[in-house]
């Protein structure tokens, strides 16, 4: 072909390239002009297709059977053109005459221009140069396509991002996702604190798939196939999953990019909802603590405090029933101290021990717990509470390191308690325990105040009676036992033996006496004698755990012991002691009140002794 004709061909190809003719028109023109310039029998433009680049598509063809060839696909491995397209190495042959040039795109071979059947048996240098020029035009077309796809994808992602930002919640985002991915159904799952996925929103999902866990979802059984799966992540932490499903899977190279953009907005919405829930929980917790503090500080009467605490757990956690168990001092027993909504016989029937039932488990392990289904909870088996409720949340009542009881909330229907709800119950229990302890201390102080007045009145009456010397010791021990609520009280007088050692003898006693030989053994060495010799008080809230009992003195089975010296200007004239059959808890001690009583007891005893000596 002469040069003017060649120029006309190039001009035609460049115009088609500039005016963005369709792929079919452009590659068809390219093949036709390649055949014309090379004076060959046939020409074709083939492009690699498939994720593995293992197929050839005839994008354009000229010559015999060209109409049938256009748009067909063959295996790349089955033709010489496929080898050239995949390796990027051109191929020339004289017999039969053929020329195959690779078409490069972004530094990689993407297809080939094929011409075959020259009447001269070989292609001239001018023909080969012309073919290479057309190959360059084909490469330019592929680059333009890529730029167009990139631009279109960018515009689509921008549009998708704008639509996603307009979604007010996850349900709206699910609808946007289904439309933008051209899917039949979309499911958004959110992970809980245990990383279990729960359906949070969906669009077009069959009802059969909405009510089952993700692991049990049978997509294909419902005629659906996954077309996009995107994890929802914040950093390395996965907070959910996005699934797009369709009845007919269609290839869309941009689908994953669009799905990823939508997934990012889903993460934003999930995190926003989480922050809102956290803020609401914090506000709810602050309101709860304020209302609780107002309620319990309005009274120091223990029954009213207990009632208000139970009302607080029911109101703030929206449960129908509440129960507060207190641990009996020095015992492993838990008694129902206050309740709301329980059966009529609950107070007498619900008496359990530490470790029994779920409330006992909470006290034993000093940790809050919840059960969505009490009847199936193994911790409930030892003391079943499922007759009172279907679900339970419980938190220990703790004062310092001591657990004084447990606060429970129960529901009539099964309910899953969330971690924030469990934390709220724990917070209520912690503040309630302080209020309960304050009410207990106040009640004890009032009792001690009344007991002290009666003590002083009794001692004063004994001193003014005609038989003061004889009655004062009995009055002292009786009033001491009553004032402290002890099981036994005793008064010892001191004397010095032949070897000059201070000894004691029991002068008056009242209360429990069985198995108390350790108080005044035959050897004379006993706790009261130690108090008299040292002139110091002795306190053992738990004699079982006190190392002095079992080494210095005989170890009793259980209980608590306290003794103080009775001092005057002449020295120690006696010892006043109290004994309990059960140990005292942490923070409890008879020593302070016993010391206060001992001062008056010493004066009364000294006065009685002087009156006796004067007679």
Integer Cα distance of 544 and 470 in angstroms: 36
In this structure, the number of other CB atoms found within 10 A of the CB of residue 572 comes to 19
Confidence of residue 523 (pLDDT cuts 50, 70, 90): low
Nearest Cα neighbor of 35 from 61, 56, 53, 13 is 61
Nearest Cα neighbor of 392 from 405, 382, 375, 404 is 375
The CA-based angle 347-349-350, given to 5 degrees, is 70
Average pLDDT over the chain reads 81
State whether the Cα torsion 342-343-348-354 is positive or negative. Answer: negative
Residue bearing tokens 């007045």: 453
419 CA to centre of own chain: 5
Angle between helices 125-166 and 23-38 (to 10 degrees): 170
β 571-580/488-496 pair status: antiparallel
pLDDT computed for residue 309 by the predictor: 87
Q: Which residues have CB under 8 Å from 457's CB, separation 6+?
A: none
- Mean pLDDT in residue range 515-537: 80
Q: State residue 535 phi and psi, 5-degree precision.
A: 70, 25
Task: Determine if the pTM surpasses 0.75.
Answer: no
418 CA to centre of own chain: 8
Q: Are the C-beta atoms of 511 and 487 separated by less than 8 Å?
A: yes
DSSP codes joined into one string, 407-472 = EEEEESS--PPPHHHHHHHHHHHHHHHHHHHHHHHHHHHHHHHHHHHHHHHHHHHHHHSTTHHHHH
Burial class of residue 504, CB neighbours in 10 A (0-12, 13-18, 19+): buried
pLDDT computed for residue 350 by the predictor: 86
- For the cut 70, the answer to whether the pLDDT of residue 152 exceeds it is no
The β-bridge partners of 576 are 491, 564
Confidence of residue 266 (pLDDT cuts 50, 70, 90): confident
- Mean pLDDT in residue range 134-150: 80
Q: State residue 323 phi and psi, 5-degree precision.
A: -145, 140
In this structure, the number of other CB atoms found within 10 A of the CB of residue 333 comes to 16
Residue bearing tokens 């009242």: 510
> Would you call the peptide bond into 96 cis, given omega within 30 degrees of 0 as the criterion?
yes
Q: Are the C-beta atoms of 199 and 241 separated by less than 8 Å?
A: no
Confidence of residue 70 (pLDDT cuts 50, 70, 90): confident
Residue bearing tokens 């069985």: 514
Integer Cα distance of 150 and 145 in angstroms: 9
Q: Are the C-beta atoms of 59 and 48 separated by less than 8 Å?
A: no
- Mean pLDDT in residue range 59-63: 89
Q: Which residue has the higher pLDDT, 436 or 463?
A: 436
């Amino acid at each position: 072909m002469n040069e003017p004709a060649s120029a006309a061909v190039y001009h035609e190809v460049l115009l088609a390239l500039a005016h963005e003719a369709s792929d079919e028109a452009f590659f068809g023109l390219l093949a036709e002009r390649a055949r014309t310039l090379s004076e060959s029998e046939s020409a074709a433009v083939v492009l690699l297709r498939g994720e593995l680049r293992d197929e050839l598509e005839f994008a354009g063809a000229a010559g015999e059977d060209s109409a049938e060839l256009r748009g067909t696909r063959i295996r790349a491995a089955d033709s010489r053109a496929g080898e050239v397209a995949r390796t990027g190495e051109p191929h020339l042959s004289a017999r039969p005459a053929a020329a195959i040039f690779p078409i490069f795109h972004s530094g990689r071979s993407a297809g080939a221009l094929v011409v075959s059947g020259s009447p001269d048996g070989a292609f001239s240098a001018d023909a080969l140069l012309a073919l290479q020029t057309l190959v360059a035009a084909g490469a330019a077309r592929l680059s333009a396509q890529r730029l167009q796809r990139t631009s279109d994808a960018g515009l689509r992602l921008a549009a998708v991002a704008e639509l996603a930002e307009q979604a007010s919640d996850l349900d709206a985002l699910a609808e946007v996702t289904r439309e933008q991915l051209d899917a039949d159904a979309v499911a958004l799952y959110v992970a809980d604190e245990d990383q279990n996925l729960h359906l949070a929103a969906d669009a077009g999902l069959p009802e059969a798939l909405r009510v089952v866990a993700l692991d049990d979802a049978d997509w294909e059984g419902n005629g659906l196939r996954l077309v996009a799966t995107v994890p929802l992540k914040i950093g390395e932490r996965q907070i959910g999953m996005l699934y797009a499903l369709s009845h007919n899977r269609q290839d869309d190279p941009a689908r994953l990019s669009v799905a990823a953009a939508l997934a990012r907005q889903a993460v934003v919405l999930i995190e926003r909802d989480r922050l809102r829930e956290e803020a609401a929980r914090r506000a709810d917790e602050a309101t709860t603590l304020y209302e609780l503090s107002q309620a319990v500080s309005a009274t120091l009467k223990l029954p009213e405090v207990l009632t208000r605490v139970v009302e607080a757990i029911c109101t703030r956690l929206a449960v129908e029933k509440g129960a507060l168990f207190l641990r009996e001092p020095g015992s492993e027993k838990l008694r129902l101290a206050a309740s709301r909504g329980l059966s009529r016989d609950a107070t007498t029937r619900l008496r359990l021990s530490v470790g029994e039932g779920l409330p006992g488990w909470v006290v034993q392990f000093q940790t809050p717990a919840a059960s969505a289904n009490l009847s199936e909870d193994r911790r409930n088996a030892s003391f079943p509470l499922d007759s009172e409720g279907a679900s339970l949340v419980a938190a220990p009542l703790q004062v310092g390191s001591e657990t004084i009881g447990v606060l429970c909330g129960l529901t009539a229907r099964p309910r899953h308690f969330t971690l924030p709800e469990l934390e709220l119950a724990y917070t209520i229990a912690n503040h309630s325990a302080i209020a309960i302890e304050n009410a207990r201390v106040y009640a004890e102080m009032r009792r001690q105040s009344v007991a002290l007045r009666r003590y002083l009145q009794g001692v004063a009456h004994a001193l003014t009676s005609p038989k003061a010397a004889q009655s004062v010791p009995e009055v002292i021990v009786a009033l001491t036992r009553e004032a402290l609520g002890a099981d036994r009280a005793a008064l010892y007088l001191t004397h010095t033996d032949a070897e000059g050692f201070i000894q004691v003898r029991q002068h008056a006693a009242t209360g429990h006496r069985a198995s108390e030989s350790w108080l005044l053994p035959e050897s004379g060495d006993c706790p009261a004698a130690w108090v008299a010799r040292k002139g110091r008080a002795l306190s053992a809230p738990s004699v079982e755990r006190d190392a002095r009992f079992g080494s210095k003195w005989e170890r009793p089975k259980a209980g608590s012991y306290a003794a103080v010296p009775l001092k005057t200007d002449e020295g120690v004239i006696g010892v006043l002691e109290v004994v309990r059959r059960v140990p005292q808890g942490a923070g409890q001690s008879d020593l302070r009140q016993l010391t206060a009583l001992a001062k008056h007891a010493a004066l009364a005893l000294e006065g009685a002794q002087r009156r006796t000596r004067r007679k």
